[in-house]
Amino acid sequence: MTDMSHHQPTFVTNHALTLAEIDANPAARTIDIADVLGITERRVQGIVADLIAVGYVVVTKNRHRNRYEVRAETLLRHRFEHGCTIGDLIGFPGR
């Protein structure tokens, strides 16, 4: 029997996980999010930029820190996600 532990698929993307982490902790720094998710801070910065660009997240600068707000009412964009919102996505079990 082959050890498949390193080949197990995941179904929730880093974008979705970042979004859920921002929702749980709007004042989190990108380094904090990276630590929680086990990805690089640079990757988190790119993901946050993507989420802001499509309107899923808005950022407010507060002195030297950013505060993020998830726009939970925003509809997801893929045709298979028709009618689902960001709030539906981040409400997945285990959160």
CATH number assigned to the domain comprising residue 76:
1.10.10.10
Per residue in 18-43, pLDDT (tens digit) is: 999 999 999 999 999 999 999 999 99
Give the Cα separation of 66 and 83 in Å (integer). Answer: 30
Q: Is residue 95 one of the residues assigned to a domain?
A: no
Q: Is residue 6 one of the residues assigned to a domain?
A: no
Q: Is residue 35 one of the residues assigned to a domain?
A: yes
pLDDT at residue 25 in the model: 94
The phi and psi torsions of 86 (rounded to 5 degrees) equal -60, -40
25 is in which domain, residue-wise?
Answer: 11-90
Give the Cα separation of 95 and 83 in Å (integer). Answer: 21
pLDDT at residue 19 in the model: 94
Q: Are 44 and 87 in contact (CB under 8 A)?
A: no
| 6 compared with 49, residue with greater pLDDT | 49
Per residue in 53-68, pLDDT (tens digit) is: 999 999 999 888 899 9
Q: Is residue 28 one of the residues assigned to a domain?
A: yes
Q: Is residue 49 one of the residues assigned to a domain?
A: yes
Name the strand (E) or helix (H) holding 87: helix 86-90
pLDDT at residue 7 in the model: 64
Number of domains in the chain: 1
